[in-house]
Amino acid sequence: MREVALIGHGLMHDAIAGRLAADWQVGRHDTAAQVPGGPHLLIAADDSWNTARTAEARAASTKLAVPWLRVRAELGQVVIGPLEIPGEAGCVSCAERRRRLVRADQEGHRAIWRRHGRVLRGRPSSWLTPLAATQVAEIVAALLSEGDASRMRRALMTVNLERLDVGVHPFLPDALCDTCGDAPQDTAQLADLVLEPRQMQRAGSFRTREVTEDLEELYVDQECGLIGSISEWTAGVLAVASARVGGRGGGEVMGYGRAETRTASRRIAVLEGLERYGGAQGARRPAVRASFAEVAGHALDPRTLGLYPPERYRLPGFLYRPFDVNETYTWVWGYSFARKEPILVPQSCAYYQNGHELVYEISNGCALGGSLEEAVLHGVLEVAERDAFLLTWYCRIPAPRIETAGVSDRRLQWQLASVEAETGYDVFFHDISVEQRIPCVWAIAVNPRDDGRAATISAAGSSPDPERAMANALSEVASSIAPVGEKYAEHRERARQMLADPGLVKEMEDHSLLYAHPDAARRLDFLTGAPGRRRPADLGAVTGTDLTGVLTEMVKRYLDTGLDVIVIDQTGSEHRAGGFACVKVLIPGTLSMTFGHDHRRLDDLPRLLTVPRLLGHRDRDLAPEELTSDPHPFL
């Protein structure tokens, strides 16, 4: 008869011991330290939220080289699992971290534990009855009847103590878990990049494979998923979804999906959530701590990414410190296409939610793909889109309007007509492509009536295909008309105040709120009144069915204009579980999107003054004082 060591005491301990006695030799112990050699399995059963049990059970499990199964009451539920196997990824700590990150109110939960943790750890749940304990024992017996409870590897089972219903919640191991994480140490060798040929799944898709239908099954779970929940609503003709991703920094990040169907919008939201997770978390363990002076020969100079003028650092509450070549920073490895070799990049520029060292950083250049090449392509496109938008804004470039009558994509024509008919807004597209000639489009929804609704909403899109760039920009602006309008109706006075004091523009939503005000919208006259018209075909597509070929051409255009393209591979085991790659693309010299007017990053970026001349809009370079000092209107 096989032996199981049962640790703990209380109702569940007694019920499990009684139920297993017929099939197992059960050794009962108050603590894990009392367990002798010989058992096939350890079970730690506690009627209270005893968080201290993990360390002692894990120590015994490791010493005896046997797995252990957690069974614990937590106020209104019992949690069974995971089955932790020494040396295998997917431990109890992973599960608890997933649960913590996915909670909607992480700070509230922490506050309760700070105040009541001692009581919660020691007092049995008042919801736990003998009947519930019996049900838990039956579940444990059923799991062990399979031999080793292997069904609980990388999974939790919850028993609701009010209804006694049962839920199963698989989870992905945490690559950065201190106990079992498999995140490798960051090295130059891992950053080396060799592009492989990748055929598009269909011409013009710029994707290498279809996303499988089990995406939500793999990533979404309210108890311990990488994504906790998906919210859905409609915006005009579009279905919109948001995926809530827990961040290690204690906050949360959101992935959004906008599509014609509910299924597609949910899928896109999950994919963007995975991208946000990669950009905020880090998939490798940084190994380089050095000053720029010490590593300058093989490191990116952060000043080429745009920093802040000296007076900005003196603002009250400004979180960032001036760059110092002799100060020690954490660096990660990326790949430089210009140097054709790995290069060190400041960690705070490669990932966000990693403290406040050099600059405000968000998801600029972050992208997910079905292959590394696909992810890099879309990372380059995002950099191109945001750079083009900000150059157009700060330089007041009179970007020509794109004639929608020349659109060949009937779906795009239908979407545009539907948005305008349903919302009453006029939507215009402007060609904001810059010197690399990658199609980039500014979409602006203009309220033609003086009816108190938001005056303008702006967004942007990019793609190797001009009409797809238009469609991307349209989906962004169309899904934002209603929420921006609702916020403006509630916060008109704040919009008026920001109009007079740009320093009040602090958050992402403030930018669109400001330009909902009709007096701020007049700042966009340089765009809406721009002379000249273009057809979509005039923007010039980057064509081909070889996705890697399209990517190579786009990278070449940056290199030919004197700019490097740097790739930081953010792919973690969580991404690989779904067959994805995740990257951040940096293109030093381009403008990075920021939110909060004081966070704008314009210093030491010469292109900001030269691009209008290169595009033929000026016969000379701009002077710094000719740049607008107004906050940008990007959503």
Going by C-beta distance under 8 Å and a sequence separation of 6 or more, which residues neighbour residue 159?
77, 78, 80, 132, 135, 136, 139, 165, 166
pLDDT at residue 147, as a whole number:
67
Cross-strand partners of 366: 584
Question: DSSP class of residue 479?
Answer: T
Q: Helix (H) and strand (E) counts for the chain?
A: 21, 21
Does this chain's domain 213-277 share its CATH topology with 395-538?
yes
pLDDT at residue 116, as a whole number:
85
Nearest-angstrom CA–CA distance, 4 and 256: 47
Question: DSSP class of residue 157?
Answer: E
pLDDT digits (tens, 9 = 90+) for 125-169: 999 999 999 999 999 999 998 766 788 999 999 999 999 999 999
Least confident of 187-191, 256-260, 288-292: 256-260
Q: Would you state the structure tokens that stand for residue 2, as one six-digit string?
A: 């096989």
CATH number given to 288-393+543-602: 3.30.1330
Q: pLDDT at residue 172 above 70?
A: yes
Q: pLDDT at residue 355 above 80?
A: no
Instruction: Identify the residue whose tokens are 């693309």.
Output: 585
- Kindly list the strands in the beta sheet with 456-462, ordered across the sheet, starting from the edge strand earlier in the chain: 456-462, 440-446, 426-431, 401-402, 533-534
CA separation (Å) from 198 to 340, 378, 468, 486?
Answer: 20, 14, 20, 44
pLDDT at residue 354, as a whole number:
65
Superfamily of domain 3-170: NAD(P)-binding Rossmann-like Domain (3.40.50.720)
Q: pLDDT at residue 583 above 70?
A: yes
Nearest-angstrom CA–CA distance, 145 and 137: 12
pLDDT digits (tens, 9 = 90+) for 218-274: 999 999 999 999 999 988 778 999 999 977 666 678 999 999 899 999 999 999 999
pLDDT digits (tens, 9 = 90+) for 403-444: 999 899 999 999 999 999 999 999 999 999 999 999 999 999
In contact, 173 and 182? CB cutoff 8 Å: yes
Per-residue b/e over 572-594, b at no fewer than 16 CB within 10 Å? bbbbeebebbbbbbbbbbbbbbb
Instruction: Identify the residue whose tokens are 């007049």.
Output: 522
pLDDT digits (tens, 9 = 90+) for 455-494: 999 999 999 999 999 999 999 999 999 999 999 999 999 9
Cross-strand partners of 123: none
pLDDT at residue 106, as a whole number:
77
pLDDT digits (tens, 9 = 90+) for 326-335: 999 999 999 9
pLDDT at residue 71, as a whole number:
98
Q: Identify the H or E element spanning 344.
A: strand 341-346
Confidence class for position 185, pLDDT limits 50, 70, 90: very high
For the chain, the domains span 3-170, 213-277, 288-393+543-602, 395-538
Which CATH architecture does the domain made up of 213-277 adopt? 2-Layer Sandwich (3.30)
Instruction: Identify the residue whose tokens are 């509910």.
Output: 262
Confidence class for position 37, pLDDT limits 50, 70, 90: confident
| Sign of the dihedral defined by the CA atoms of residues 504, 510, 512, 514, in that order | negative
Confidence class for position 38, pLDDT limits 50, 70, 90: confident
Task: Calculate the CA dihedral of residues 500, 504, 508, 511 and round it to 10 degrees.
Answer: 0
Q: pLDDT at residue 297 above 80?
A: yes
Q: Would you state the structure tokens that stand for residue 457, as one six-digit string?
A: 């909403």
Report, as an integer, the average pLDDT of 496-504. Answer: 97
In contact, 189 and 453? CB cutoff 8 Å: no
More confident position, 119 or 524: 524
* Mean pLDDT for all residues in the chain: 94
Nearest-angstrom CA–CA distance, 71 and 156: 10
CA separation (Å) from 224 to 279, 464, 577?
Answer: 20, 38, 16
The 3 state secondary structure assigned to 23-63 is CCEEEEECCHHHCCCCCCEEEEEECCCCCCHHHHHHHHHHH
CA separation (Å) from 471 to 306, 463, 481, 575?
Answer: 30, 9, 16, 27
For a pLDDT cut of 70, what percent of the chain falls above it?
Answer: 99
- Residue 226 buriedness (CB in 10 A; 0-12 / 13-18 / 19+): buried
Going by C-beta distance under 8 Å and a sequence separation of 6 or more, which residues neighbour residue 33?
56, 59, 60
Q: pLDDT at residue 91 above 90?
A: yes
pLDDT at residue 356, as a whole number:
72
Q: Would you state the structure tokens that stand for residue 531, as one six-digit string?
A: 């002379």
Q: Would you state the structure tokens that stand for residue 112, as one six-digit string?
A: 């309760």
Nearest-angstrom CA–CA distance, 297 and 113: 48
Sequential DSSP letters for 291-324? EHHHHGGGB--GGGG-B--GGGGGSTT-------
Going by C-beta distance under 8 Å and a sequence separation of 6 or more, which residues neighbour residue 212?
578, 579
Report, as an integer, the average pLDDT of 56-82. Answer: 95
More confident position, 214 or 554: 554
pLDDT at residue 122, as a whole number:
86
Distance of CA 486 to the CA centre of its chain: 26
CATH number given to 395-538: 3.30.160.660
Nearest-angstrom CA–CA distance, 227 and 606: 41
Q: pLDDT at residue 1 above 80?
A: no
Report, as an integer, the average pLDDT of 105-112. Answer: 80
Q: pLDDT at residue 314 above 90?
A: yes
Nearest-angstrom CA–CA distance, 342 and 302: 16
